[in-house]
Amino acid sequence: MKHLFTLLLLILTVKAGAQSLPAYLSPKPFSKFISRESNIIINNGFRVNPLSMSDNCLIVSGSISGRIEVKLYLSDDGETVIAEPVKRFTEGETVTVSYSGGIRGEEGDTMKPFSYSFTITPLKERIILTEEQKQMFAQSRGKVIDE
């Protein structure tokens, strides 16, 4: 019985420390090979009060480039926050996004603080495949690519 109580206490402690991420994030947490030109997209499922948005509530930092300034925009749907980096990410770096709070919904909802990371592609430029290369790649994977 003592072991069961200890196990239950441990589970509750771990759950209490787990962070709650927004309903939608892009890039997804721990994703790799993300484009250097990517934006950060956040949607928590409620209409955002645009007056509550501040560029300072989201801290974006790269393992190589350091702090990355972003401009926040509200999408036409009124629910999606887009963070557009002022400069491109550096190839191969890990980007950490930390939100400390401040964005509120029109109905009083709040987005809980969160932090996550993703990794930028190590390639400096996109690889553009010819049609022949696309077909060879598709055949090697057992499917055909349609335009």
Helix (H) or strand (E) holding 123: none
Residue boundaries of the structural domains of the chain: 19-140
**Level-2 CATH architecture, domain 19-140:** Sandwich (2.60)
Is residue 29 within 8 A of residue 117, CB to CB? The reply is yes
Are 69 and 39 a contacting pair, CB within 8 Å?
no
pLDDT tens digits, 21-65: 899 999 999 999 999 999 999 999 999 999 999 888 999 999 999
Return the closest-CA partner of residue 99 out of 33, 35, 64, 48: 48
pLDDT tens readout for residues 89-110: 999 999 999 999 999 999 988 9
- 12's CB contacts (< 8 A; 6+ apart) are none
